[in-house]
Structure 1
Amino acid sequence: MNIPNLSGYLNQFQIFIKIAETGNLSRAARELGLTPSAVSKSLSQLESITGHLLINRESRPFQLTLDGRRILQLAQRVIADIESIADGSRLPGMQGETLRISCSLAFGCTHIPRLSGDFQALYPGVSIDVMLDDRFINLEREDIDVAFRITSEAVTQNDDAEPLMDIRWFYCASPDYLRRHPPITVPADLRFHHCLVYPQMTHEGKWMFRQHAKSEAVAVTPHLSCNSSLLLLQRALLHGGVACLPDYLASHYIHGGKLVRVLSEYDPGVTHQLQARIRHSAKENKTLRLFLAFIQNRLTKNCDQTITPRDTNCEPYSQ
């Protein structure tokens, strides 16, 4: 009877997961403390075992093939199961357990589909019930295990809350809007523009601008005002004006060139925080703890890259 070398498979799985995360053999080797040749050899061995090419070596960064994505899900599930057994976080009752979560409309629509899907790929026995609501709700009354909320209030020692990541805000608009309107070189120029206003980011009807130690307030007339930054994002993408948007919404479109930061040398002077507010009676729920650890790890990885201000030089303004 041939006994498979399980430890070898696990090492190959771990290396493959790191290759998928970094999209680069050299970077994966660096983060794992291995040589690039060792990482390349491990990948080739895994491809030989599975009988499939797992990455497209012609693309930079590497892209997973269809078989590669399938093997990645399997590898992640195996590694996560082993880790949860090792730290005692896998409960017998986890199969068929339901996590009830609440979050804002904007964060829920943009992040929860992928985060919940990836978590359930690792733990298919867990169901997730999502309530989208911009209100601060009573977790006990609504029977919610955890609410993800963005707030400017710091977590205190007695809070049933945990910080997940900081949220920065950017003033931005579409390149097409900027081409068709007067240039914006100082905050006061915004008085002549369509301002898409999120009320919580104004102070007495003014947008705030901070540069170094100096602050400036500019009274803006809302062309459109809304309590959901998700709607303001969509209006900005439709060339509707200048909006103050959180980085978790705007960053993807800034990197893709669909939005441009305006007055990028300024910031609104306010930093918010994404927090997990946990129902007191659910604090010891190990499935919830596993979910929160997964969320924090994933958000940290996604937010490691800093947004560099894009060049805002556009075609000359024409009336």
Structure 2
Amino acid sequence: MSDRLQELGIFVRAAETGSFSRAARELGTTQPSVSRTIAGLERRLGVKLLLRTTRRITLTDAGSVLLERARHILPEIDEAEDAARGTDSLRGLLKVAMPVAFGIREVIPRLQAFLADHPQLRIDFVMADGAEDLVAEGVDVALRLGQLADSGFGSRKLASVPRYLVASPGYLELRGTPASLADLDGRDCILGPGASGRKGWVFRDGKVERPITGDERFNVGSAEGVIALAKAGLGMAVASLWMCRAELAAGHLVSILSDYPLAPAEVHAVFPAGRQPSRKVRAFTAHLADRLRGD
């Protein structure tokens, strides 16, 4: 049985990555070994599972059916083995994708107690501000800030915090502190990913939503870049409390136009494997939600 489970595990990673060589690197084996395993699985089942080309492998209809079932079977077996051991301690590898700044500033500092409770658990962080192919990366859970795009993935809202329009004291001394939304005309605006507002900002003026673009001086691909530009006195930016907590506390940035609130920033856990996340994923997201909401 263990050989058949190993076959399934290799097949899943080869199918998700679209590459025998990449699957081999992730699994710590060789490309010929992965190829032989898949060929043996196909012979045993009597069906073609993967179509090979010079650039990529793709799933056949039979391969798609097997992949869908295997994604559910393998985590359930892990959980069954944990239950048989009679222990609450998690083990194995948990692969987590998250934005760089949010991960460094808010997630990693909250993990010490969780990891102390689960000393046999290893975590592989995929940290990027762009949108990765979560399935191809083999991610167990992804943390996403802002509105979620429609997808077939399962998700859970973990927490939300206020967003602020911020600027450095030096910038405000040079250009003046805005007193109304109209005062934003001609100001240097720093736009960025996620909650930083790549397409502009939407303030609430009473019961009316007011979209503001200002003078789009900078457009940055990372949240840390947004904060760095604002701290340097180069413009105003919108940032969630998660992104600018330290700078506000130190006085490097100040909040302005607080009478015109912005929609809060939300963080969601996204489950690429479907709507039934594994026990490791459930424990990790529950811990993180508890800590984020506790703040």
User: When the two structures are superposed, what TM-score results if normalisation uses the length of structure 1?
Assistant: 0.58
Structure 1 residues 242 and 122: CA distance shift in structure 2, 3 A = same
The corresponding residue for 2:272 is: 279
2:256 matches 1:262 = yes
Question: Structure 1: where are the runs of 5+ without partners?
Answer: 1-87, 303-319
Partner of residue 40, structure 1: none
**Residue in structure 2 matched with residue 229 of structure 1 by the alignment:** 223
Partner residue of 1:103 out of 78, 87, 98: 98
Q: 1:301 corresponds to which residue?
A: 294
2:181 counterpart of 1:187: yes
Q: Is 1:220 aligned to 2:210, yes or no?
A: no
Structure 2: distance between partners of 1:125 and 1:203: 39
Residue 136, structure 1, aligned to residue 131, structure 2: yes
For residues 95 and 198 of structure 2, the distance between their equivalents in structure 1, rounded to whole angstroms, comes to 37
Deviates more, 1:170-179 or 1:212-221: 212-221
Task: Choose 110-119 or 89-98, whichever is displaced more.
Answer: 89-98
**Could you give the per-residue CA deviations for residues 229-263 of structure 1, whole angstroms, max 9, x where no partner exists?**
22111221222221111221123322332211111
1:236 maps to amino acid: A
Which residue matches 1:148? 143
Amino acid at match of 1:174: S
Taking a change above 3 Å as real, the CA distance of residues 282 and 118 of structure 1, as seen in their structure-2 partners, is: farther
Q: In structure 1, what residue type is equivalent to 2:255? A: R
Partners in 2 of 1:276 and 1:143 — Cα distance? 15
Structure 1 residues 279 and 154: CA distance shift in structure 2, 3 A: closer
Alignment of 1:104-123 (within 5 A): 104-123=99-118
Structure 2 unaligned runs (5+)? 1-82
> How far apart, in 1, do the equivalents of 2:162 and 2:248 lie?
14
Distance 1:141 1:263 in 2: 43
Answer yes or no: is the 8 Å Cα contact 2:188–2:236 preserved in 1. yes
Q: Distance in 2 between matches of 1:296 and 1:217?
A: 31
Change (3 A) 1:89 1:222: farther
Preserved CA contact (<8 Å) 2:162 2:265: yes
Q: Retained in 1: the 8 A contact 2:192–2:198?
A: no
User: How far is the alpha carbon of 1:175 from its aligned partner?
Assistant: 1.6
Asked if 1:171 is matched to 2:192, the reply is no
- Provide the C-alpha distance between the structure 1 equivalents of 2:149 and 2:84, rounded to a whole number of angstroms: 29
Of residues 121, 124, 133 in structure 1, which corresponds to 2:119?
Answer: 124
Displacement after TM superposition at 1:201 (Å): 6.4
The alpha carbon displacement at 1:128 in A equals: 0.7
Q: Deviations over 1:113-157 (max 9, x none)?
A: 21233422332221110001233334332211100011324999x
Which residue does 2:12 correspond to in 1? none
Q: Given the superposition, is the C-alpha separation of residues 219 and 293 from structure 1 closer, same or farther in structure 2, using an over 3 Å criterion?
A: closer
- 2: CA distance, partners of 1:193 / 1:201: 20
Q: What SS is found at the alignment partner of 1:144?
A: coil
Matched letter for residue 184 of structure 1: P
Matched residue type, 2:214: V
Separation of aligned partners in 1, 2:240 and 2:143:
15
Q: Take 2:208 and 2:163, find their aligned partners in 1: how far apart are those partners?
A: 18
Residue identity (%): 23
**One-letter amino acid of the structure 2 residue matched with residue 227 of structure 1:** G
RMSD of the alignment, in Å? 3.1
Q: 1:163 to 1:91 in 2, by over 3 A?
A: farther
**Is 2:154–2:275's contact at 8 Å kept on the other side of the alignment?**
no
**1:201-212 paired onto structure 2 within 5 Å:** 206-212=200-206
Q: Select the structure that is richer in strand.
A: 2
8 Å contact kept, 2:189–2:213: no
Aligned residue in 2 for 1:291: 284
Distance 2:239 2:136 in 1: 32
CA shift in 2, pair 1:204/1:235, >3 Å:
closer
Match of 2:24 in 1: none
CA distance in 1, matches of 2:172, 2:163: 19
Q: 1:221 to 1:202 in 2, by over 3 A?
A: farther
Alpha-carbon contact 2:129-2:193 (below 8 Å) kept: no
CA distance in 2, matches of 1:296, 1:201: 18
- Give aligned pairs, total: 213
